Copies of this chain bind each other. A is one copy, B any other.
């Protein structure tokens, strides 16, 4: 039988109201009383029952995180885990707890109706039609991670287009003007946004955009290598290549090695994200890094904020991408 608020009250010679007020930092308690009660609480190892408090308070101080937890996910998408960690961290700092839900498995509607959590953060990959309906119809507090097409939802995202621009501008700084883009599938949103940012920056700066230097692959190692071989043996050859993913950068470096093309002496390259493969790439790649953990933190903070002001609209890019200089780019002599 755990110790309850009654035990504390009795032991301290006060009412349970007083104990409760001290627990919740309600002002208007005399200092001697507060001290006495706090002494008793710690002596008895008292902590308030969270369910009872939640019932009375009508809030669980718990936020759910909904994601696809496929078999393959942990290995192919470490970023998802990192986002989660960021969310967890920011919630914990505010006294909230973090509940993980699998999109495929959980009866989300029932959990929402049961008020198991006060709000939900939905990873873009798990935003199915029913989830969408639920959020809209029940006006349930939420943040989507990843820019959804429907603007009635609240969301945060990383600015991939800006990432593409930053990659371009760095190469420009290095003296490159003939720049190719090695991308993934045309249906890959992230790759496309990076490409779009690159293109816009390209035209802003008055550089020429050769269509044969914009390449879409299926994102695989094999396809990346072949595309890289074509780029490197084509004429004219670009001075630099933006690889839209880590794996494509790996493929690119592999192809350059086969052709004995010196990186970055003859051709420079840049990619995105430090993981999972950049540590295996030679030369160590310069990359545009996005702190997705920080985006997770931002999502959590925004959601907690929205809990107070339900009418608040959150639709924003968080956490600017930053450049991490490696050895795959270098200032060219002019």
Q: Is the CB of A100 within 8 A of B102?
A: no
Q: Measured between alpha carbons, how far is A166 from B93 in the docked complex, in Å? A: 45
Chain B residue with minimal CB distance to A112?
A: B47
CB distance from A299 to the nearest CB of B (A): 15
Mark out the residues of chain A between 167 and 201 whose CB falls within 8 Å of any chain B CB in the assembled complex: none
User: What residue of chain B has the Cβ atom nearest to residue A110's Cβ?
Assistant: B47
Task: Given the known inter-chain contacts A2-B113, A100-B98, please indicate yes or no for A274 contacting B75, CB distance below 8 A.
Answer: yes
Q: Are B45 and A55 in contact (CB under 8 A)?
A: no
Q: Do B105 and A89 touch (CB < 8 A)?
A: yes
B113 near A46 (CB under 8 angstroms)?
Answer: yes
Which of A6-14, A79-87, A324-332 is near enough to bind chain B?
Answer: A79-87
Nearest chain-B residue to A82 (Cβ)? B74
Give chain B residues whose Cβ lies under 8 Å from the Cβ of A45.
113
In the bound complex, do residue B75 and residue A82 qualify as a contact, i.e. CB atoms below 8 Å apart? yes
Residue pair A115, B81 in contact (C-beta under 8 Å): no
Partner of A102, one of B82, B92, B111: B92
Tell yes or no: A51 within 8 A of B by CB.
yes
Q: Report the Cα distance A134→B63, complex, angstroms.
A: 26
B88 adjacent to A69 (CB under 8 Å)? yes
Q: Interface of A with B (CB < 8 Å)?
A: 2, 45-52, 54-55, 60, 62, 69, 71, 73-75, 78-82, 84-85, 88-89, 92-93, 97-102, 105-106, 110-111, 113-116, 221, 250, 274-277, 279-280, 293
Provide 5 A-B residue pairs closer than 8 Å at the C-beta atoms, listed in order of the A residue: A55-B55, A74-B82, A75-B276, A92-B106, A98-B99
